[in-house]
Amino acid sequence: MNQLAGELNPSSRILMGPGPSDVHPRVLRAMATPLVGHLDPEFLTIMNETQALLRYVFQTQNSLTFPVSGTGSAGMETCVVNLIEPGDRMVVCVNGVFGQRMVDVAQRAGAEVTVLERPWGDVFPLDLIRDTLRKVRPKVLGIVHAETSTGACQPMDGLGELCHEFDTLLLVDTVTSLGGIPVEVDRWQADAVYSGTQKCLSAPPGLAPVTFSSRAVETIQRRKTKVQSWYLDVTMVQRYWGQERFYHHTAPITMIYALREALRLVQEEGLERRFARHRLHHQALKAGLSALGIRYAAVEGHQLPQLNAVWIPAGADDLTTRRMLLEQFGIEIGGGLGDFKGKVWRIGLMGYSCRANNVLLFLSALEQCLLRQGLKIPEGASIAAANQVYCQQPA
């Protein structure tokens, strides 16, 4: 290769897909902060502050709460490989791609996995889970709170109590929910919960916040075999994030800066106001899409406000529409995964991307894309419907 690479200059984008979301300018500024060493006393203070902020967003008092150096899938693997030993029984609830991924991770860790399935876009009733726990008596139940592939939100009330009834640990995927809708780890009585930084927290991808209950910690301490992964073994990682500060790996310092600032923004806004903001812009988007005859893929009453999975209308081409949005308007949305590939669009309103100007710009751009493909839609109807939602809100 004789030519040097040019200066980095990617095109300006509005990130309204399933992740990453737009990063807040304050987070970008924090990432320009000069490095200190990962064992520098000042960085250890930053670590403590980040953990405290994570406990606030997770709504937990768990002492073992920290960001894994890796993306959300690393958080999933951290929770599974630390709780599961070869031969352990695990039930995984599958109603989308990320439930399927949890099955794969659990099987690789040596679990005897029972798969509990529901149609994509649907959720799991408590009675169905109870019947399965009664039959299987698993060590761990794994479930996705916010299924990114379908836009479905799993109700969590009563699930922790149910798991306690059968002496089962509750493992929850909150990758797409943390910071966008209520995640209440202690109230849920969840034992292992993981997330990601690039969704509703609006930081770059690269860290996976996790939290473990005291019950989960006791289970890990009683293991008869070593954790499958050296890098993700929390019995060692917690020595770095705990009081010992024992060296385990070189932490991604800049990403910790970014997460700390992203969490500060959540705290400044307040959880309830943040959740209300996500609901408002979802309602405006949904009203606009409904005015165009576009329907949601997830069942009514269980639709995520931050991840809107909608059926592609007849006559519209998936790739053509997404390419037009990206190339002509600088808007990125996501296509379908798995069973929904080529059938749905996934429109993200997460964190800093969740703003009225993004909703209105997207609806206007989508109308133009559909009209250019020959669809008969009521011109301007989506904007009018969204504006009606906004006008009904107090100033």
Specify the pLDDT at position 4. Answer: 87
**Residues 75-103 pLDDT 10s:** 999 999 999 999 999 999 999 999 999 99
d(CA 382, CA 291): 5
Specify the pLDDT at position 395. Answer: 59
C-alpha angle with apex 358: 355 to 362, nearest 5 degrees? 145
Helices and strands, number each (H, E), in the chain:
14, 14
Cβ 251 vs Cβ 35: under 8 Å: no
Q: Which residues of the chain have pLDDT under 70?
A: 1, 395
Specify the pLDDT at position 357. Answer: 97
Beta bridge partners of 209: 67
Specify the pLDDT at position 238. Answer: 86
**Residues 191-201 pLDDT 10s:** 999 999 999 99
Specify the pLDDT at position 244. Answer: 80
- What is the set of domains in the chain, with CATH numbers? 25-268 (3.40.640.10), 270-391 (3.90.1150.10)
> Residue 115 phi/psi, 5° resolution?
-95, 125
Specify the pLDDT at position 3. Answer: 81
Structure tokens at 32: 């320009």
Structure tokens at 254: 């800049």
Q: Which of 170, 206, 191, 179 is nearest to 68 (CA)?
A: 206
Q: Would you put residue 264 in left (φ > 0), alpha (ψ -120 to 50) or beta?
A: alpha
